[in-house]
């Protein structure tokens, strides 16, 4: 054998190993444009994989009465939660979305089965996550099938969430733990719970819910952001509604830009604009989007490191969940802004979706415990759900695919 043919065999071996195995995410993981499939085809393939995985996960979950998917353990086995975990609504939401897209009644049956497991959430008053939990599960079930019982669960959930609004402060209190550290903590994630209140206001005619949502968004806009449009994770208020602390809980440090938090901000202000028409929310969403797209730590494939202030974004763990949230928000935001900004947002979201749909992130059929995406970061400092699949990564990924798909066929 010549040295030349040996060299080619070596190259071929390297290529086939690297091409069939899930690889650690890297700066160069974005596919080359000359090999890219048309976007519509890429989306259909990704949705097909999402359906396949979600049916696998549904079958595994069906006999586990009262449980919802959470992540996988280090051996890749499914880890579940009870309905009180803040993520309980995302998997039912994935199923509702996939049913909406495909009309596959098996998905609807599982969506109903797992949505019902969240029934008790309507009475949760000890944290703010009721919006995430109910709007992503019952909310889609109501939108698609409109059973009266779902409407009542959503209205009860909104009433529970509203108990956490203090009119003297004008915000919904996020958490009750760590009382010695924070008097009245509000986290940027809380922007995501307002959609339930806006819906409840329309559904019930009770304008109080809408006033709470608008007040919460306005105070968040005023107090959570730095001059560069990045945001703090936790802002705590004193009993007169004055800011007492600006800190982090899940980010790298108090002054850092925790990637998923920036995603919650972008997504939150984008839908607040859609729902209220207030241009101050649109301006804020645009500021956050421009900050994210122009950030020096944002890799060319659009999948951010788990915090934008990590020392070395080249080697830091990526967070697929942050990318999915950002992609979904950007697709929507691109409708509300003029060219060339609109095209820039859409192109960036496309890049993110192509990366998430590559074999680096999109799980092979039957793998990843039935979850759709790999490589998310839940809570880095607590070594919890680090470089793991997460239901909210899957939820916002599927939502982003569907949002993009709808805009292609218009
Ligand atoms: N809402 C909690 C998180 O984003 O991790």
Categorize the per-residue pLDDT at 409 as very low, low, confident or very high, splitting at 50, 70 and 90: confident
Q: What is the pLDDT of residue 2?
A: 40
Residue 4 confidence (pLDDT) above 50: no
Q: What is the pLDDT of residue 28?
A: 37
Average per-residue pLDDT for the chain:
93
Number of domains in the chain: 1
Three-class SS string for 58-114?
Answer: HHHHCCCCCCEEEEECCCCCEEEECCCCCCCCHHHHHHHHHHHHHCCHHHHHHHHHH
The mean per-residue pLDDT over the stretch 5-15 comes to 35
The mean per-residue pLDDT over the stretch 91-110 comes to 98
Residue 51 confidence (pLDDT) above 80: yes
Cα–Cα distance for residue pair 171/123, rounded to 1 Å: 20
Is 22 part of any domain? Answer: no
Segment 376-402, tens digit of pLDDT: 999 999 999 999 999 999 999 999 999
Q: Which residues of 280-317 are buried (b: 16+ CB within 10 A; e: fewer)?
A: ebbebbbbbbebbbebebbbebbbbbbbbbbeebeebb
Nearest-CA residue for atom 1 of ligand 1: 189
Cα–Cα distance for residue pair 353/324, rounded to 1 Å: 8
Of 26-30, 223-227, 277-281, 368-372, the poorest mean pLDDT is in 26-30
The mean per-residue pLDDT over the stretch 257-284 comes to 99
Substitution candidate for ligand 1 out of 86, 90, 267, 377 with most atoms within 8 A of CB:
86
Q: Which atom of ligand 1 is nearest to the CA of 132?
A: 1
Query: How far, rounded to the nearest angstrom, does the alpha carbon of residue 208 sit from its chain's CA centroid?
Result: 27
Cα 182-183-188 angle, rounded to 5 deg: 65
Its pTM stands at 0.92
Q: What is the CA radius of gyration of the chain?
A: 21
Q: Which atom of ligand 1 is nearest to the CA of 379?
A: 5
Cα 55-57-63 angle, rounded to 5 deg: 105
Substitution candidate for ligand 1 out of 260, 307, 391 with most atoms within 8 A of CB:
260
CA of 36 from ligand 1 middle (Å) equals 32
Q: What is the pLDDT of residue 25?
A: 56
Is 284 part of any domain? Answer: no
Q: Which atom of ligand 1 is nearest to the CA of 321?
A: 4
CA of 128 from ligand 1 middle (Å) equals 11
Nearest-CA residue for atom 5 of ligand 1: 378
Is 154 part of any domain? Answer: yes
Q: Which atom of ligand 1 is nearest to the CA of 260?
A: 4
- Write out the catalytic residue numbers: 129, 189
Q: What is the pLDDT of residue 19?
A: 27
N-terminal to C-terminal alpha carbon distance within the chain: 57
Is 95 part of any domain? Answer: yes
The mean per-residue pLDDT over the stretch 193-210 comes to 98
Segment 287-302, tens digit of pLDDT: 999 999 999 999 999 9
Is 386 part of any domain? Answer: no
Categorize the per-residue pLDDT at 33 as very low, low, confident or very high, splitting at 50, 70 and 90: low
Residue 82 confidence (pLDDT) above 60: yes
Is 250 part of any domain? Answer: no
Q: Is residue 16 within 8 Å of residue 9, measured between CB atoms?
A: no
Cα–Cα distance for residue pair 213/31, rounded to 1 Å: 41
Residue 169 confidence (pLDDT) above 90: yes
Residue 24 confidence (pLDDT) above 60: no
Categorize the per-residue pLDDT at 36 as very low, low, confident or very high, splitting at 50, 70 and 90: confident
Q: Which domain holds residue 154?
A: 66-163
Cα–Cα distance for residue pair 112/141, rounded to 1 Å: 7
Within 6 A (CB) of ligand 1 lie 86, 189, 250, 260, 378
> Quick one: which of 178, 108, 403, 173 has its CA closest to 274?
403
Categorize the per-residue pLDDT at 16 as very low, low, confident or very high, splitting at 50, 70 and 90: very low
Nearest-CA residue for atom 2 of ligand 1: 189
Q: What is the pLDDT of residue 9?
A: 35
Is 94 part of any domain? Answer: yes
- 340: cis peptide before it, omega within 30°? yes
Is 131 part of any domain? Answer: yes
Backbone angles phi, psi at 70, to 5 degrees: -125, -60
Categorize the per-residue pLDDT at 34 as very low, low, confident or very high, splitting at 50, 70 and 90: low
Categorize the per-residue pLDDT at 319 as very low, low, confident or very high, splitting at 50, 70 and 90: very high
């Amino acid at each position: 054998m010549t040295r030349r043919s040996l060299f080619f065999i070596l190259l071929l071996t390297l290529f086939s190993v690297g091409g069939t195995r899930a690889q650690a995410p890297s700066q160069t993981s974005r596919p080359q444009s000359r090999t890219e499939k048309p976007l519509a085809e890429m989306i259909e393939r990704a949705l097909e994989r999402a359906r396949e995985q979600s049916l696998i996960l549904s079958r595994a979950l069906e006999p586990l009465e009262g449980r919802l998917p959470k992540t996988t353990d280090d051996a890749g086995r499914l880890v579940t939660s009870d309905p009180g975990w803040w993520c309980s609504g995302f998997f039912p939401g994935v199923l509702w979305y996939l049913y909406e897209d495909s009309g596959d009644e098996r998905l609807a049956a599982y969506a109903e089965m797992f949505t019902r497991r969240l029934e008790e959430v309507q009475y949760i008053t000890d944290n703010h996550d009721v919006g995430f939990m109910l709007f992503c599960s019952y909310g889609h079930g109501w939108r698609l099938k409109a059973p009266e019982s779902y409407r009542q669960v959503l209205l009860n959930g909104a009433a529970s969430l509203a108990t956490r609004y203090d009119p003297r402060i004008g915000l919904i209190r996020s958490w009750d733990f760590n009382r010695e550290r924070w008097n009245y903590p509000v986290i940027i994630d809380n922007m995501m719970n307002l959609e339930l209140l806006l819906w409840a206001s329309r559904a019930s005619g009770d304008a109080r819910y809408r006033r709470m949502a608008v007040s919460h968004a306005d105070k968040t806009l005023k107090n959570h952001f730095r001059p560069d449009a990045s945001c703090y994770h936790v802002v705590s208020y004193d009993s007169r509604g004055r800011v007492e602390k600006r800190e982090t809980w899940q980010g790298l440090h108090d002054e850092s830009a925790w990637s998923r938090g920036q995603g919650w901000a972008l997504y939150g202000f984008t839908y607040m604009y859609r729902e209220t028409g207030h241009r101050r929310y649109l301006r804020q969403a645009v500021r956050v989007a421009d900050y994210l797209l122009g950030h020096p730590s944002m890799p060319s494939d659009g999948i951010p490191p788990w915090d934008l202030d990590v020392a070395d974004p080249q080697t830091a763990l990526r967070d697929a969940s942050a990318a999915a949230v950002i992609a979904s928000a950007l697709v929507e935001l691109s409708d509300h802004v003029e060219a060339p900004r609109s095209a820039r947002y859409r192109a960036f979201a496309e890049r993110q979706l192509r990366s998430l749909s590559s074999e680096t992130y999109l799980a092979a059929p039957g793998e990843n415990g039935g979850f759709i995406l790999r490589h998310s970061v839940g809570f880095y400092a607590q070594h919890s759900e680090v470089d793991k699949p997460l239901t909210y990564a899957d939820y916002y990924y599927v939502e982003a695919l569907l949002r993009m798909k709808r805009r292609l066929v218009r």
